[in-house]
Chains A and B, each alone.
Chain A
């Protein structure tokens, strides 16, 4: 028996919503084609819709930019900074590139997962508070290891310091 592959197609949200209209048009004016504006528009959409891009938003953005849903899906899953799944209230990025890893980012990752009560990176913890994500080079190699908590950079992080940082989040 062939299992059903997917449920009904998502209903596209009206994109852009009123409050984003001006910003979207501003972004579009800076790119030669609508397709070229995919990344900034998606970031904008993610920020607006609870820090993640749902299939409905994905369809709305695709419609707005005149590209296929599958193109948007490809971008969402390729770039680490987009969330294609519901995100937690706080986001913790742990760098996993060479310098940080050599300076102990592996331990930071474990610490972050422990604090977030999550099994693996990319998944929201049990209490829905934290989303821990692996990141490629955050550009702070000289003060490695680096961690971003809610978009704010922290350098020379130790597991103790990270625990402190995460506990300070509400």
Chain B
């Protein structure tokens, strides 16, 4: 590998990392402000304009706070758990393309951490890894509330990951009709959603070629599953304050607590970004090349990506301000008896429909 190529790889990773940190700072503030608005409160308002620097202030405070280590913890795992939470969170976002590739001289720079052939599988693998952080934090704290939170988290993550994976399978099979073969690479999935549905029927030529229109059921299932995967309300039983104090991170303080907090908000953003990529066309959109100055049409895809992602992030905040928490048995019943059968049924329906369109009726 030559030096320019190495520099490009380094740039891609660092830029993706920086974007993720910046949006996480904004997201924490945005959630507090939006939920405050929905509850007729003011929310953070002191640090900076509209309280925008509140997250930074909180981060600094947590950074300088004493990290208390309780006496009964299992020290090795207790210290390891926060890192196990943050690392998969960062790695998941590395798969998401967040802008149109551009050229510097002879080299193409893709705005994506890494474009793997197995992109979606990598995302599933990393979200499976993220479970360990919660489980180990809960177990190693040597205290009953974190342990209960950890056990709940394991069961919840296993249950809803199945539904999430199944809804992804439906999308992957659908991408096979948009190109020569199905694909798991996120960059490829975005490219196949460029343009409109005009070639299917002229009436639809105003509709962007997003997967959400043919795969609306998969989108709904995926949305429910990612809310549960990120342990957000109404599925936040893992850290139910009224029952479990703080859940798995009860015994953590200072910087170690901040790492769990960071991981949660990174996960919200990257799961929203994945939903936007799979169903809303990612960065695809009109760039008006030749009509607008070059740097604006180069920047527009990133802006489209952020708008689509934030639309989904807003749904996360909206749900939190609106819905009460489920009971534990309701959570399990919903996951196993409603969501997974629905995902399976949609997979069968969607696949049979695709087969009909590709090969015609089996009796003809």
A and B bind = no
Give A contacts to B, CB under 8 Å: none
Give B contacts to A, CB under 8 Å: none
